[in-house]
Amino acid sequence: MLKHVEKLRGMGLEANPLKDWEFEVSVPKERVAEVLSYLKSTGFKAFIHLACVDWIDEGEFELVYNLESYEDALQAVVKTRIPRNNPTMESMISIWGLCQVYEREVHEFFGIEFVGNPNLKPFFLENWMDIPPLRKDFNTLVYSEELFEFKEDETHGIKAPKRIEHK
């Protein structure tokens, strides 16, 4: 495992082990395709998932590619940062055809444009006209109170409705 970490540090990337079989690499945006295809060539053939974290204070999205190598039982977490206003990212479909589905989901929940992905149509949500829901500035309680017409307050229950008598 340390052989991989040293190799990646040799390529000028910042890599550190998380556990004895998992390490993470943070990669600038342009070198993601290069690092992913390099890892795929050295045994990380299984693409596990693509996650996206919305760092709203730093104004950035963080894309997390997770790969797994079955030969030497390792887990590689490749992270990259992309700017938050009109975020675009090149699609990794050429390396793994599987990314098409994960990128379509991240596009719908965060609004990231994946250049090269043939099919970014709506996936889970039907006629959604608001900002992508998993962004930090989307308030789900205000949305559901508006849409489903019920009133709820945020203080987790410390309030005194007047009309209750015990049964």
Partner 1 sequence: MVNFKKNSLAPISALKYLFKKPHTVRYPKEDLNVFYLKGVSPRYRGLHTNDLSKCIGCGSCAKVCPANAIMMVESKDVKPANKFAKTVRPVIDYGRCCFCGQCVDVCPTRSLQMSREYIHSFHPKLSTSSEKEPETVVEDFIWRPDQTHADNPGYVRT
Partner 2 sequence: MELRPLNVSNTNDKYKTYELFIGPNHPGISGNFSYVLDMEGHKVANVTPDPGLLHRGFEKLMERRLWTQNLALIPRICVPEPDVNEVAYCMGVEHLAGIEIPKHAQYIRVIVLEMARIAAFLFSFAGLGGSTGLYTAPNWSIGDRDYILDLFEWLTGGRVYHIYQYPGGVKKDIPDGWLDKLLELLDYLESRLPEYDNLIFRNPILQKRTKGVGYLPAEKAIKNGITGPNLRASGIKWDIRKAQPYLVYDELNFDIPITGEGDAFARTLQRRLELEESIKILRQCANQIPDGPYKVKIPNPFQFRVPAGSYYSKVESSKGEFGYYIVSDGDVKPYRVYVRGPSYSVGLYYANEIMRGMRIEDVPVWIHTMDICPPDFDR
Partner 3 sequence: MSEWKELADYFRGRSMWMLHYCTGCGAIELPPTMTSRWDMERFGVVPMATPRQADILLITGYLSIKSLKRVVYTYEQMSAPKWVLGFGSCTINGGIYWDSYSVIKRLDKYIPVDLYIAGCMPRPEAILDSFVKLRELIKKGEAKGYEKYVKNFEWYKANQDKVFRRTTPVLKKPEEVTKSA
- Residue 159 touches which of partner 3, partner 2, partner 1, none (Cβ within 5-8 Å per kind): partner 1
Residue 81: exposure state from Cβ atoms within 10 A (0-12, 13-18, ≥19) = middle
Q: Find the binder of partner 3 among 115, 129, 160, 164 (CB under 8 A).
A: 129
Nearest to 81 by CA among 25, 7, 3: 25
* C-alpha to C-alpha distance for 108 and 121, rounded to whole angstroms: 8
- Consecutive H or E run containing 90: strand 88-90
Give the containing element (helix H, strand E) for 82: strand 74-83
Q: Report the candidate in 102, 112, 50 with the shortest Cα–Cα distance to residue 79.
A: 50
Out of 77, 81, 90, 145, the residue judged to bind partner 2 by CB under 8 A: 77
Our finding on whether 152 is near partner 1 (CB under 8 A) is: yes
> Binding to partner 2 (CB under 8 A): which residues in 81-110?
96-98, 100-102, 109
Binding to partner 3 in span 138-167, by CB under 8 A:
138-144, 146-150, 152, 154
Q: Which residues is 46 bridged to in the sheet?
A: 68
Contact set with partner 2 (CB under 8 A): 18-19, 21-22, 24, 45-49, 51, 53-54, 64, 66, 68, 70, 73, 75, 77, 96-98, 100-102, 109, 123-126, 133-134, 136, 138, 140-141
